[in-house]
């Protein structure tokens, strides 16, 4: 089955994609292993759970705040250069902890390190999403995006496990050294990537704030992109945030073990990987309809938590709920890469990240008080209904079903004309 991906003209026969894929695995392993070691350092220094939560949370805050800036620079510069700089910066910042004793480390230093990690995420994320059309032919984009997404999921699962083994065997300092090495290896792989980007895409820089606003105009120009970002923003704020918080709470309380939580999370990832692979071969004229309808399956997760009658039911529900994310891996990145002109793609992906992830920490912070006020079961049923309602509503936005606007490629002149017509 995998042999076809290595045949001449296939995905992994493309040297640049192959090295980008390997770099992605190395970088994600390091990104997910680093917080585990950091958590041990915080606890060794006498930090509380509140301190730990605040320190880890600033990474998301930094990523959201700097996402528009990262998007602008990833559109101005070669994306490979931005990715190399991001990985190299992570390696340097992460290595600072190596030279400090855990028991004497300042929480402010740890907070600053994790904040800077978040800043690098804001540059690397938009760049890796926008670089794909520069290294792959159009017909390989769906498979390329899906397999990169699968690599990301697999590395996200493997990273904490690798960190745990290293910490137990060699300590936190060795783990920090290992994560820095992973970042450096990831950057080294990128030097072997050949980015074929048209010179017309590398424009003379304009005023920075103007370029940020231009990214917002691009998103608004393609109404289906704006609608899907808004949909995901509210669903992550309310539905996903509550599910993420209550899954470990309910399963640990009702079944007396953390194994149910870990198994459910793993099965969700497995379902996502399977559905992503299936979606590679799926030919449809309405990818948006398929993606949104599949995304509706996510309600199986909160509904299983609302009625936690058995661990087997939770396992089945989470495995099936995982199928909700696969079509997004296949269709979202590919359609944005095809629809949006190359010189704006990094800004669009940065706005996507800022919009969808930005409010997730707020939702997670409110999940506890909301469940105490409304009760766990009513809250979980309520967010399930809300999730389906939003999915249904977004399908009425023109272009969402096809993930295509039918408009000519965006240019500032066209945008001004369309605004004039609207007025």
pLDDT score recorded for residue 421: 44
pLDDT score recorded for residue 132: 85
Most confident among 162-166, 197-201, 322-326 (mean pLDDT): 322-326
Question: 206-254: per-residue pLDDT in tens?
Answer: 676 777 788 888 888 889 999 999 998 899 888 988 887 788 778 878 8
Tell whether the model's pLDDT for residue 54 goes beyond 80: no
Give residues with Cβ within 8 angstroms of 82, minimum separation 6. 70, 73, 74, 123, 124, 127
Tell whether the model's pLDDT for residue 422 goes beyond 50: no
Helices within 296-400 (DSSP H only) = 300-306, 311-321, 326-339, 345-358, 360-374, 376-394
- In angstroms, the CA 233 to CA 246 distance is 19
Instruction: Give the chain's mean pLDDT.
Output: 81
What are the b/e assignments for 203-212, b being 16+ CB within 10 Å? eeeeeeeebb
Q: What is the mean pLDDT of residues 402-420?
A: 68
Question: 97-115: per-residue pLDDT in tens?
Answer: 777 665 566 777 778 888 8
- In angstroms, the CA 90 to CA 86 distance is 6
What are the b/e assignments for 242-278, b being 16+ CB within 10 Å? bbbbbbeebbeeeeeeeebbebbbebbbbbbbebbbe
Neighbour count for residue 419 (Cβ, 10 Å): 12
With cut-offs at 50, 70 and 90, classify the pLDDT of residue 423.
very low
Helices within 192-237 (DSSP H only) = 208-221, 223-235
Tell whether the model's pLDDT for residue 164 goes beyond 80: no
Angle, vertex CA 147, rays to CA 146 and CA 150, nearest 5: 90
Neighbour count for residue 89 (Cβ, 10 Å): 18
What are the b/e assignments for 280-299, b being 16+ CB within 10 Å? beeeeeebbbbbbebbebbb
Tell whether the model's pLDDT for residue 201 goes beyond 70: no
pLDDT score recorded for residue 296: 93
- Displacement of CA 27 from its chain's centroid (Å): 13
> If we measure between CA atoms, which residue out of 173, 154, 153 comes closest to residue 163?
173
With cut-offs at 50, 70 and 90, classify the pLDDT of residue 182.
very high
All structural domains of the chain: 14-195 (1.20.1250.20), 206-415 (1.20.1250.20)
Query: In terms of C-beta density within 10 A (0-12 exposed, 13-18 middle, 19 or more buried), how is residue 159 classed?
Result: buried
Tell whether the model's pLDDT for residue 3 goes beyond 70: no
Most confident among 136-140, 210-214, 320-324 (mean pLDDT): 320-324
Tell whether the model's pLDDT for residue 263 goes beyond 60: yes
Question: 279-312: per-residue pLDDT in tens?
Answer: 877 788 898 999 999 999 999 999 999 998 888 9
Phi (first) and psi of residue 312, to 5 degrees: -65, -40
Give residues with Cβ within 8 angstroms of 7, minimum separation 6. 13
With cut-offs at 50, 70 and 90, classify the pLDDT of residue 419.
very low
Neighbour count for residue 97 (Cβ, 10 Å): 23
Provide the total of helices (H) and of strands (E) in the chain, helices listed first: 18, 0
Question: 35-49: per-residue pLDDT in tens?
Answer: 777 777 776 766 665
With cut-offs at 50, 70 and 90, classify the pLDDT of residue 184.
very high
Question: 19-37: per-residue pLDDT in tens?
Answer: 999 999 999 888 888 877 7
Neighbour count for residue 103 (Cβ, 10 Å): 9
């Amino acid at each position: 089955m995998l042999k076809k991906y290595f045949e001449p003209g296939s995905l992994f026969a493309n040297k640049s994609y192959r090295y980008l894929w390997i770099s992605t695995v190395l970088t994600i392993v390091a990104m997910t292993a680093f917080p585990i070691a950091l958590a041990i350092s915080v606890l060794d220094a006498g930090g509380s759970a509140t301190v730990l939560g605040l320190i880890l949370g600033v990474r998301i805050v930094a990523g959201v705040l700097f996402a528009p800036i990262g998007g602008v620079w990833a559109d101005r510069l070669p994306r490979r250069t931005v990715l190399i700089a991001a990985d190299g910066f992570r390696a340097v910042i992460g290595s600072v902890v190596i030279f400090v004793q855990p028991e004497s480390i300042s929480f402010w230093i740890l907070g600053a390190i994790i904040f800077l990690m978040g800043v690098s995420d804001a540059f690397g994320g938009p760049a890796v999403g926008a670089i794909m059309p520069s290294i792959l032919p159009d017909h390989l984009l769906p498979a390329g995006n899906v397999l990169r997404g699968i690599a990301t999921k697999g590395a996200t699962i493997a990273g904490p496990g690798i960190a745990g083994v290293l910490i137990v065997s060699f300590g936190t300092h060795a783990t920090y050294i290992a994560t820095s090495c992973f970042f450096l290896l990831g950057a080294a792989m990128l030097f072997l990537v050949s980015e074929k980007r048209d010179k017309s895409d590398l424009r003379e820089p304009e005023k920075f704030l103007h370029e940020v606003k231009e990214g917002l105009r691009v998103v608004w120009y393609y109404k289906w992109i704006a609608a899907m970002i808004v949909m995901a923003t509210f669903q992550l704020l309310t539905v996903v945030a509550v599910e993420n918080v209550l899954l470990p709470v309910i399963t640990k309380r009702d079944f007396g073990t953390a194994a149910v939580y870990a198994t459910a999370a793993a099965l969700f990832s497995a379902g996502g990987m399977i559905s992503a692979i299936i979606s590679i071969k799926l030919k449809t004229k309405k990818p948006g309809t398929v993606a949104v309808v599949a995304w509706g399956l996510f309600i199986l997760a909160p509904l299983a938590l609302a009625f936690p009658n058995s661990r087997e039911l939770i396992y089945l529900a989470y495995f099936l709920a995982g199928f909700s994310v696969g079509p997004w891996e296949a269709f979202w990145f590919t359609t944005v890469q095809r629809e949006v002109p190359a010189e704006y793609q990094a800004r669009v992906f940065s706005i996507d990240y800022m919009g969808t992830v930005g409010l997730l920490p707020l939702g997670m912070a409110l999940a506890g008080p909301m469940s105490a006020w409304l009760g766990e079961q009513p809250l979980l049923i309520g967010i399930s209904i809300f999730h389906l309602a939003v999915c249904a509503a977004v399908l009425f936005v023109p272009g969402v079903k096809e993930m295509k606007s039918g408009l000519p490629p965006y240019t500032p002149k066209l945008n001004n004309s369309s605004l004039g017509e609207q007025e």
